[in-house]
Amino acid sequence: MGRFALKIEYDGAPFAGWQRQADQPSVQSAIETALAKLEPGAHTIAAAGRTDAGVHGWGQVAHCDLQKDWDPFRLSEALNYHLKPDPVAIVACARVDDAFHARFSAVARHYIFRIMARRAPLTFGHGQFWRVNHDLDLDAMQAGAAALLGEHDFTTFRSTMCQAASPVKTLDRLDVARIVQPEGIEYRFDVRARSFLHNQVRSFVGTLERVGTGAWVPEDVAKALAAKDRSACGPVCPPQGLYLAHVVYPDDPFAN
């Protein structure tokens, strides 16, 4: 038996999220079904994070245990063949030892959130951004984001359905950039922490968008954080602009 790490890219639009569900399509089920085409039987894969419905993956990581000693390249090629036509791709595959766990071995997760500011509806980028029809104040959003860095009780920015044992997390990075794209102005939020609460990133971005419009001032973000009250949060933004971009491990299994 061998253990393999998979780096996975997917469009979250047609899925009810990462996690396997009995009556709805999921990314996990798509990959496990493909694995069963290679080695008949039930397969269960573990992932670095369980993305919600509509959330995308640029660098999701999962691991699987297989009976055959597969060449990693041939395994990725075979999986990609059987994943068609689902919008899921194995972009890298590596053999790892049994101590590696896609979730528990990870030391950081890196998310990207993309807002597109333009009046017209999106065509080619539909489902890939949160479109807003107004420009945003980058400096104000950066100032508001600064209040969230470090270790805090993030109850305000935590879904009421969150199952984490504690609301205390350490946010290592929350940068905002303004990027001129052919289709409009993109505001890209770059967020990194060891782990996240349910809806934490979307709560951050929805709140900072209010700052960007001028409906909130940057100091309101610190006040909302200090309130430790979910009702103090700004609107939770939609999932379409969120990407699990990268998962960090002490030893990168895909380095070679």
Amino acid in position 138: L
The H-assigned helical ranges of the chain are: 27-38, 72-83, 138-146, 200-213, 218-227
The question of whether 137 is a catalytic residue gets the answer no
For the whole model, what pTM was predicted?
Answer: 0.95
Q: For residue 62, how far is the Cα from the chain centroid?
A: 13
Give the Cα separation of 124 and 145 in Å (integer).
29
Q: In the chain, what are the domains? A: 2-105 (3.30.70.580), 108-246 (3.30.70.660)
**Are 3 and 98 within 8 A, CB to CB?**
yes
Q: Locate 86 and state its tokens.
A: 């689902």
For each of the chain's 256 residues, which pLDDT tens digit applies? 799 999 999 999 999 999 999 899 999 999 999 999 999 999 999 999 999 999 999 999 999 999 999 999 999 999 999 999 999 999 999 999 999 999 999 999 999 999 999 999 999 889 999 999 999 999 999 999 999 999 999 999 999 888 899 999 999 999 999 999 998 999 999 999 999 999 999 999 999 999 999 999 999 999 999 999 999 999 999 999 999 999 999 999 999 7
Tell me which of 52, 86, 97, 175 is the catalytic residue.
Answer: 52
Residues near 213 by Cβ (< 8 Å), separated by ≥ 6? 134, 136, 137
Give the Cα separation of 46 and 62 in Å (integer).
5
